Amino acid sequence: MPQSLSQPRVSVSEVEGARFQVYTERQFDQIEALQRLSADARFAMRVVAKVLPFRVNRYVIDELIDWDRVPDDPVFQLSFPQPGMLREADFARMADAMRSGADRKAIQAIAADIRAGLNPHPAGQQQLNVPLLDGQPLPGMQHKYRETVLFFPSQGQTCHSYCSFCFRWAQFVGDREMRFASNEADSLHAYLAQHPEVSDLLVTGGDPMVMKTRHLATYLEPLTDARFERLQTIRIGTKSLTFWPQRYVTDADADELLRLLERLVAAGKHVALMAHYNHGRELDTPIAREAIRRVRDTGAVIRTQAPLLRRINDDADAWADMWRTQARLGMVPYYMFVERDTGARHYFEVPLARAWQIYRDAIQQVSGVARTARGPSMSATPGKVEVQGVAEVQGEKVFVLRFIQGRNPDWVQRPFFARYDESATWLDQLRPAFGEQRFFFEDEFDAMCRTASRGAD
């Protein structure tokens, strides 16, 4: 066992008071820092929090937000609801109900109606991605790409804090029918055993790292058995390294968690924490650096990813600085995503043309070890589509696109072209270039959708 597991390198003063304390919409009045905002601003935040999930912890409030820059501070925008996150009509509807003293049932009905119009499950998650075991659907699992299965453990369907842009916001709003979750470790293991084409398991949520280590081990340790030899990579999607780095340093089972990662690595698995870093400030605190060091000491790899978000990180220099820091700390920059077509997308989204320019300007500033970051990438229903650039072909200005992942693996790495549109923000807003009527994959994709629809019936 590495010495680091028992000897954190942060000082006692830096870990004192590390008790986890969380605030939701019900505890707005207990967040002292919010009192510096006007009553109208606080009311507006509560209006939005009736519709979109809100949860923030003391570490984020005290260590990551510069309250002298509020409301423009990027981590404040990342973690606290803002009035523009709802459309004007929806905001007014909820605000009027709250001012008039509507009861809880009426408020919930309005919230549910607004949520239904926010595309709560993008990319065909419920219709196209749910796998079958012995002819029965497996709730809490998704199998969109041949090599990768996603698993949503029921104990991990919350987070230490919520991101205001989260594309899985529907997991957190209390509507059980909106939620992906499974507590069936046996079903996960049975499915993986029957599908040797799966090389990668992604444990996701929510955030699996909110789970106690003993629960996480129930899912992961059996994967070291010989029958899962073809499973090469165990990925864990998490924001904990930024929102609660104490998970790896001072939590009661922090050492136990790191030893679990060590055992998985020793068994020959590639263990990767798919870490969400939205802004370089999340890397700056001493305990965040210590958490990174301790995870890396286990042999696990930290791969970093984030969407490009207006008001938070829509700046090439910010990305370049973040990628350089991550590479210096031994992490692997992995993805720059395009904000998904769900939730408060209108508040955060950046046109694809500008997203590509930001990516290009950022990647030009870093060395080759940080140019592992791919993007800007849209996790669309057919697959992950990357904007590779803007070009002029046969006198027509076009986007050059390719699939990084596809529902049909044969689509991957095939370049295709869309007419240039400086306002488009998502794949479904693009049109084929050169007079073509459809993109090369659309007929096959439509057939997949029809088959899935018949299966659901």
**How many angstroms separate the CA atoms of 396 and 16, rounded?**
61
CB atoms within 10 A of CB 211: 23
pLDDT at 13 over 80: no
User: β-pairing, 141-145 with 148-151?
Assistant: antiparallel
Confidence tier at 11 by pLDDT (50, 70, 90): very low
Each residue of 36-74: pLDDT tens digit?
Answer: 999 999 999 999 999 999 999 999 999 999 999 999 999
Q: State residue 17's pLDDT score.
A: 45
Confidence of residue 125 (pLDDT cuts 50, 70, 90): low
**Residue 333: which H helix or E strand, with range?**
strand 332-338
Q: Is it the case that residue 272 has pLDDT exceeding 90?
A: yes
Q: What is the pLDDT of residue 455?
A: 61
pLDDT band at 172 (very low <50, low <70, confident <90, very high): confident
Give residues with Cβ within 8 angstroms of 337, minimum separation 6: 305, 306, 307, 308, 375, 376, 377, 378, 379
Residue 396, by phi and psi: left (phi above 0), alpha (psi -120 to 50) or beta? beta
Q: How many CA atoms lie within 13 A of 354 on its CB side?
A: 14
Rounded mean pLDDT, 374-390: 96
* Torsion-angle region of 135 (φ positive above 0: left; ψ -120 to 50: alpha; else: beta): left
* pLDDT exceeds cutoff 60 at 340: yes
Q: Which helix (H) or strand (E) holds 276?
A: strand 270-276
Tokens matching residue 262: 């060590």
For the cut 50, the answer to whether the pLDDT of residue 12 exceeds it is no
Mean pLDDT across the chain, nearest whole number?
A: 91
Q: Is the pLDDT at 28 greater than 80, yes or no?
A: yes
Give the model's pLDDT for residue 419: 98
Residue 14 has pLDDT above 70, yes or no: no
Longest C-alpha distance within the chain, in Å?
Answer: 66
Residue in 279, 277, 153 with CA at minimum distance from that of residue 210: 153
**Where in the chain are the domains?**
18-116
Q: Is the pLDDT of residue 194 over 50?
A: yes
Other Cβ atoms less than 10 A from the Cβ of 429: the count is 13
pLDDT at 19: 85
Mean local confidence (pLDDT), 175-201:
79
Question: Looking at residue 178, what is its pLDDT?
Answer: 46
- With a cut of 90, say whether residue 240 has pLDDT above it: yes
452, 127 in Cβ contact below 8 A? yes
Degrees to nearest 5, angle at CA 338 with 64 and 92:
75
Omega before residue 376 within 30° of 0, cis: yes
Q: Please, what sign has the CA dihedral across residues 399, 403, 408, 409?
A: positive
Q: 180 exposed, middle or buried (CB, 10 Å; 0-12, 13-18, 19+)? A: buried
Note the pLDDT of residue 407.
Answer: 95
Residue 395, Ramachandran bin (φ over 0: left; ψ between -120 and 50: alpha; else beta): left
